[in-house]
Structure 1
Amino acid sequence: MNFEVQTLRWYIAVAEELHFARAAKSLNIARTTLSAAVIELETELGYPLFVRGASPTQLTEDGIQFLSTARVLVDEEERRVAEEAALRASQLHTLTVGYTEGVTPTKWVRIWAERFPEIAIDLVPSTPDTQLSLLREGAVDVAFVRLPVDRDGLSVIGLYEEVPVVVVPKDHPVAAFDRISVSDLSDEHLLHDLDEVPEWTAIASEVADGTRLALPPIESTSELVEYVAAGLGIAIVPQSIARLHARKDLVYRPVDGVAGSPIAIAWPSQETTDNVEEFVGIVRGRSVRSSRGTPTAPDKTKKPRPTKPAKKVQRPATPRSKRSRR
């Protein structure tokens, strides 16, 4: 059974005062309004809360038991409201931004700090394997992701496309060129799953003649780079990742004929907060003049939203008096 929180508070006031007039005065409402609310509550419960005709006002046994229940329900509701308010406050004053490997969000974070110094940004690194789970689990508010991604439930805006490069040992023949075509790599052993670089797979000699060896277990880009340095094969990765893992014994060269790696900004569509909108605007180049303003400040030009009715709470089962009747 559900009850209006306001009605429960009114009932508690009468039960504690044991006087309708004084309770109504303390609540700053009309006595008739208070009496009507109590009668409606008794009707909903199916039993009287106050002894009829008693002077001074007296609680029935059911009324005494329900008073304890009402206090618990009101306390739970107040705690819930406080927790939600605290959560909203923390979200307003912190924006959590995820960024996949190879993305450097420094410029946008700096601009954010200049425009909204009262709202901190927490940066959370990710990989193509973890970038979506961080978003869907709520670990980040917004994230820079490497496409493709499952867009279900997400808002996704493309930003730019990275150039693919081949990473080879410093003494590899590819190192002599400024850039290379994917067709020139057809006789190489690529340390990726075949579906990761379909352009190479379509022309690879080892795929065509069935001599391709199984890949070693590769858990990270760092491990991939180690295998390349050991001469076990080559890798084709976005240029930013090659730069991130640059080392003196390796070189990287742009590869023609391989699709670029798109970078996008994404966030859960149902969690499009003012903070998220402001950050996306900064990333897309919104100027200070076109900024929506401080995320926490209300827009006074908008009409106020209609007030929602008071939330009802679920009443737990309470013991019934043998004399109570429904």
Structure 2
Amino acid sequence: MDVDLRKLRYFVAVAEELHFGRAAARLHIAQPVLSRQIRAFEHELRAELFVRDRRSTVLTEAGRQLLADARPLLASAEALRRRVQRAAHARPTFTIAFMPGIIVTAEARAIGQRHPDLSVGVVRTSWNDQVEVVHEGRADVSYVRLPVDQRGLRLRPLFGEPRVVVLPGDHRLAGKESIDLAELVEERLLQDPDAVPEWRDLPNRPTDPDPRPRPVLSSVEEKLEHVAAYGGVAILPLSTATFYTRPDVVHVPVNDLGPNQVCLAWAEGNRSPLVHEFVDIAVRRAQAIDRSPGATGE
């Protein structure tokens, strides 16, 4: 049986909304049409995907499994569509994604100089979409900061760099040359703890040091605004902290935090020779740059 991608998209919308009415509005179709399509999809899969009554819609175990598998499948299909469309254009394109603090000018120029007919573009990403851009085909390669979900990706390590804590300028720790992570145990971390796994392992860390919900922050600038307003602290790679400077925040090295690992990522299914050529350029460039603290190679 071939999986119908249209029905799969309908399923994902319902699974994310857990409400047929909202999902139908999101998909711009009538709710009865959506209900029929989901029932037909369940019949094709020979599995019940939702338990639904008048008050709620809940995923079954089969539904949860399908949702986990559906997202990367749909992303791959979208990436395929984008790559085919780009191949159909008279002038080929190559897009490089990068995280804040990482400069890719030299690499972009190098691939462009090797292929004068190639249109080279760049796109800045964030913690939330640094891998999605390659899954969805919006970028051919992406400079990512670990940890990331590596499913469906190929990764090539490039370099590591120290991590620092960003504090308000008048914070009690602001004047120190360096600190240990344990000295931050009472602080409110503004990021998703998945971005700083060591944070969860801190001994004697209060279960709920701050009752306020963690803000949803999509950019470094937003993190710095919250830090400056005493809304919490942020752990950032050194290059990011030094790139986004402002007078009311400071950054302090953290002794017992390992370096942030930067890798080049691309979709497993992307077989373009340009990708492998760019990987070689990026690796050579990373090896040539001194990234020790205080260096100015980047």
TM-score range, shorter chain: 0.5 to 0.7
- Report the secondary structure of 1:107's partner residue: helix
Per the normalisation by structure 2, the TM-score is 0.60
- Could you tell me whether the CA contact under 8 Å between 1:185 and 1:200 is conserved in 2? no
AA at the equivalent of 2:212: A
**Relative to 1, partners in 2 of residues 1:257 and 1:269: Cα closer, same or farther, differing over 3 Å?**
same
Q: CA deviation at 1:95?
A: 0.8
Matches within 5 A, 1:1-326: 87-88=86-87, 90=89, 93-203=92-202, 205=204, 207=206, 210-220=208-218, 221-285=220-284
Distance 1:200 1:151 in 2: 22
Distance 2:277 2:148 in 1: 23
Aligned to 1:44: none
- Could you tell me whether the CA contact under 8 Å between 2:186 and 2:206 is conserved in 1? no
Distance 2:213 2:162 in 1: 25
Distance 1:86 1:216 in 2: 40
Per the normalisation by structure 1, the TM-score is 0.56
Aligned to 1:6: none
Q: CA deviation at 1:175?
A: 2.2
Q: CA deviation at 1:229?
A: 0.3
**Relative to 1, partners in 2 of residues 1:90 and 1:243: Cα closer, same or farther, differing over 3 Å?**
farther
Q: Can you list the C-alpha shifts for 1:105-144, whole angstroms capped at 9, x where unaligned?
A: 1121122233333322111111121122211111111111
Aligned to 2:53: none
Distance 1:169 1:211 in 2: 18
Q: CA deviation at 1:104?
A: 1.3
Distance 1:85 1:211 in 2: 50
Distance 1:230 1:148 in 2: 28
**Relative to 1, partners in 2 of residues 1:116 and 1:262: Cα closer, same or farther, differing over 3 Å?**
same
Q: CA deviation at 1:238?
A: 1.5
Gaps of 5+ in 1: 1-83, 287-326
**Relative to 1, partners in 2 of residues 1:91 and 1:216: Cα closer, same or farther, differing over 3 Å?**
farther
Q: Can you list the C-alpha shifts for 1:157-216, whole angstroms capped at 9, x where unaligned?
A: 1111221110011122322122221122223332234444343343365525x5442334
Q: CA deviation at 1:262?
A: 1.3
Aligned residues: 202
Q: CA deviation at 1:85?
A: 9.0
Aligned to 1:51: none
AA at the equivalent of 1:256: N
Distance 2:119 2:175 in 1: 47
**Relative to 1, partners in 2 of residues 1:100 and 1:113: Cα closer, same or farther, differing over 3 Å?**
same
**Relative to 1, partners in 2 of residues 1:89 and 1:284: Cα closer, same or farther, differing over 3 Å?**
farther
**Relative to 1, partners in 2 of residues 1:172 and 1:115: Cα closer, same or farther, differing over 3 Å?**
same
- Could you tell me whether the CA contact under 8 Å between 2:97 and 2:142 is conserved in 1? yes
Q: Can you list the C-alpha shifts for 1:7-33, whole angstroms capped at 9, x where unaligned?
A: xxxxxxxxxxxxxxxxxxxxxxxxxxx
Q: Larger relative CO (CA 8 A, sep 6+): 1 or 2?
A: 1
- Report the secondary structure of 1:108's partner residue: helix
Root-mean-square deviation (CA, aligned residues, Å) is 2.6
Between structure 1 and structure 2, the one with the greater Rg is 1
Distance 2:284 2:209 in 1: 49
Distance 1:112 1:191 in 2: 37
Q: CA deviation at 1:264?
A: 0.8
Distance 1:145 1:114 in 2: 24
Gaps of 5+ in 2: 1-82, 286-298
Distance 1:211 1:128 in 2: 24
- Could you tell me whether the CA contact under 8 Å between 1:197 and 1:258 is conserved in 2? no
**Relative to 1, partners in 2 of residues 1:205 and 1:212: Cα closer, same or farther, differing over 3 Å?**
farther
Overall identity of the aligned pairs, in %: 34
Q: Can you list the C-alpha shifts for 1:9-59, whole angstroms capped at 9, x where unaligned?
A: xxxxxxxxxxxxxxxxxxxxxxxxxxxxxxxxxxxxxxxxxxxxxxxxxxx
- Report the secondary structure of 1:183's partner residue: helix
- Report the secondary structure of 2:107's partner residue: helix
**Relative to 1, partners in 2 of residues 1:263 and 1:187: Cα closer, same or farther, differing over 3 Å?**
same
